[in-house]
């Protein structure tokens, strides 16, 4: 049966094809559809709903704000909502981590903060070239696409994507050759013909590119290399940030301090659009208005962002709880991969994945999971990885319920066919 979504909405739509339900209501880690279907959510708005759907901790302040007659839209004008967010972000996130960053509000999406980061790196260094990694994903506007790996998405640009090159991500080669060896050599060799780049942009866990996690040692090596050669290091924490890997910033475990950090998705704490670009104060060479955008001052998002930070990041208790959720997720993933030849676990924290050897398995498992009441998507260049990204606030009950559906779907899709009758 066709509906208005099929007849009027562009062919470009994608999630509504894999999950053709009409979603009407959501709470925590569950969503309900118009036809009465109920779903456990292991997708979490592609990482925009780390604290779950309609979390009362962010909804109540938002409703009060909406009813108060306060300003909703403010470009980059001053508002109490923005003041409270900036003060809270400084006091609960930056200061306790000894991070000295300026806060820029670009447009409200992930690709907006990446574009701002690339532009700033080029302006600061006076160099054009940016290096990024195999299988990286940084967004769909031209600058972000130029540092993205996926060939289908890149072709969509319709023009050459220039001034960037790809280098091997952690463990891209044979596991024996150090991935950063080539770069180190060519940067040291004035005859290599390779110009020094303005910046290297990296995801500590590649969310879209197959849920690959870089090792802490590798990240430290990359950071050192950047420092030695005067290259800016940009960490794109759009998907892996805001607690997803077990700490607020995904790079905390490695101890590195990037020059520029991109945040979006869950920074608003509610699913409302919001993004930040953070950078060392010395890099703040913008002229006023040199990079702007109409939707930088989304006050309702500031309100929910502030509430989320106060609720979850005022002390270590939420982060400690996350450890338990990660352990439960790991146990389930281990029991699933133990039953499937060649399956392996990917990711870090609650940005996790199960990689299947046979092409098509992950997609079939995701489709069967949807039919049984679980939202789970695939990732990787061949969609070979099931990407498991429940809200960080998911209850043990909902996590078990989702995994029971998933384990049954994996079993059904990987079981050897019965031998023909004798």
Chain residues that interact with ligand PLP, rule: CB under 6 A: 46, 109-111, 114, 137-139, 203, 207-208, 236, 238-239, 264
Tell the smallest beta-carbon distance from residue 253 to ligand PLP (Å): 17
Q: Please identify, using beta-carbon distances, which residue of 238 and 376 lies nearer to ligand PLP.
A: 238
* Tokens standing for residue 373: 């009441």
Q: Please identify, using beta-carbon distances, which residue of 118 and 238 lies nearer to ligand PLP.
A: 238
Tell the smallest beta-carbon distance from residue 111 to ligand PLP (Å): 3
Tell the smallest beta-carbon distance from residue 266 to ligand PLP (Å): 11
Residues 6 or more apart from 20 whose CB is under 8 A from it?
none
Tell the smallest beta-carbon distance from residue 208 to ligand PLP (Å): 5
Cβ-contact 109, 115 below 8 angstroms: no
Cβ-contact 399, 333 below 8 angstroms: no
In 276-395, which residue ranges form alpha helices assigned H by DSSP? 299-312, 317-337, 361-372
Q: Please identify, using beta-carbon distances, which residue of 308 and 405 lies nearer to ligand PLP.
A: 308
Q: Which residue is nearest to ligand PLP (CB)?
A: 110
Q: Please identify, using beta-carbon distances, which residue of 85 and 137 lies nearer to ligand PLP.
A: 137
Q: Please identify, using beta-carbon distances, which residue of 268 and 369 lies nearer to ligand PLP.
A: 268
Burial code of 147-182, b = ≥16 C-beta within 10 A, e = fewer? bbbbeeeeeeeeeebebbeebbbbeeeeeeeebbee
Tell the smallest beta-carbon distance from residue 196 to ligand PLP (Å): 24
Interatomic CA distance for residues 229 and 195, integer angstroms: 11
Tell the smallest beta-carbon distance from residue 204 to ligand PLP (Å): 10
- Classified as helix, coil or strand, 412 is helix
Tell the smallest beta-carbon distance from residue 348 to ligand PLP (Å): 14
- Classified as helix, coil or strand, 103 is strand
Measured between its terminal Cα atoms, the distance across the chain in Å is 42
Strand partners, 377: 387
Q: Please identify, using beta-carbon distances, which residue of 79 and 109 lies nearer to ligand PLP.
A: 109
Decide: residue 415, CB within 10 A, 0-12 exposed, 13-18 middle, 19+ buried.
exposed
Q: Please identify, using beta-carbon distances, which residue of 205 and 307 lies nearer to ligand PLP.
A: 205
For residue 227, the tally of other CB atoms under 10 A from its CB is: 14
Tell the smallest beta-carbon distance from residue 192 to ligand PLP (Å): 29
Interatomic CA distance for residues 28 and 290, integer angstroms: 40
Tell the smallest beta-carbon distance from residue 105 to ligand PLP (Å): 14
- Sign of the Cα torsion 284, 286, 291, 295 reads positive
Q: Please identify, using beta-carbon distances, which residue of 187 and 351 lies nearer to ligand PLP.
A: 351
Q: Please identify, using beta-carbon distances, which residue of 45 and 373 lies nearer to ligand PLP.
A: 45
* Tokens standing for residue 88: 């809270």
Residues 6 or more apart from 206 whose CB is under 8 A from it?
133, 135, 136, 137, 169, 212, 213
């Amino acid at each position: 049966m066709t509906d208005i979504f099929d007849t009027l909405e562009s062919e470009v739509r994608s999630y509504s094809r894999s999950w053709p339900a009409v979603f009407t209501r959501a709470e925590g880690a569950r969503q309900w559809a118009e036809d009465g279907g109920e779903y456990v959510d292991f997708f979490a708005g592609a990482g925009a709903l780390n604290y779950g759907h309609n979390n009362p901790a962010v909804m109540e302040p938002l409703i009060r704000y909406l009813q108060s007659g306060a300003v909703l839209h403010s470009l980059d004008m001053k508002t109490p909502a923005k003041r409270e967010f900036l003060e809270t972000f400084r006091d609960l996130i930056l200061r306790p981590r000894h991070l000295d960053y300026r806060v820029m509000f670009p447009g409200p999406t992930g690709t907006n903060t990446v574009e701002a980061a690339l532009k700033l790196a080029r302006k600061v260094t006076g160099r054009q070239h940016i290096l990024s990694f195999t299988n990286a994903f940084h967004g769909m506007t031209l600058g972000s696409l130029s540092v993205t790996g996926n060939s289908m998405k890149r072709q969509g640009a319709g023009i050459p994507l220039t001034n960037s090159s790809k280098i091997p991500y952690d463990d891209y080669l044979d596991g024996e050759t150090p991935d950063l060896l080539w770069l180190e050599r060519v940067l040291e060799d004035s005859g290599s013909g390779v110009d020094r780049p303005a910046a290297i942009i990296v995801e500590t866990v590649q969310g879209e590119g197959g849920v690959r996690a870089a090792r802490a040692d590798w990240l430290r090596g990359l950071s050192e290399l950047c420092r030695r050669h005067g290259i800016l290091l940009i960490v794109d924490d759009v998907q892996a940030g805001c607690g997803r890997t077990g700490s607020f910033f995904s790079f905390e475990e490695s101890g590195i301090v990037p020059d520029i950090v991109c945040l979006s998705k869950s920074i608003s704490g509610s699913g409302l659009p919001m993004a930040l670009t953070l950078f060392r104060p010395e890099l703040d060479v913008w002229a006023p208005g040199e990079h702007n955008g109409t939707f930088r001052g989304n006050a309702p998002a500031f309100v929910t962002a502030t509430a989320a930070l106060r609720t979850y990041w005022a002390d270590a208790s939420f982060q400690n709880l996350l450890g338990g959720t990660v352990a439960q997720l790991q146990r389930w993933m281990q029991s699933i991969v133990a039953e499937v030849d060649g399956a392996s676990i990917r990711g870090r924290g609650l940005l996790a994945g199960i990689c299947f050897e046979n092409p098509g398995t992950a997609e079939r498992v995701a489709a069967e999971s949807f039919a049984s009441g679980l939202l789970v998507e695939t990732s990787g260049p061949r969609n070979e990885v099931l990407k498991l990204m429940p809200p960080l606030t998911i209850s043990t009950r909902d996590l078990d319920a989702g995994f029971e559906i998933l384990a049954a779907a994996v079993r059904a899709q990987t079981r050897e066919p019965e031998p023909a009758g004798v």
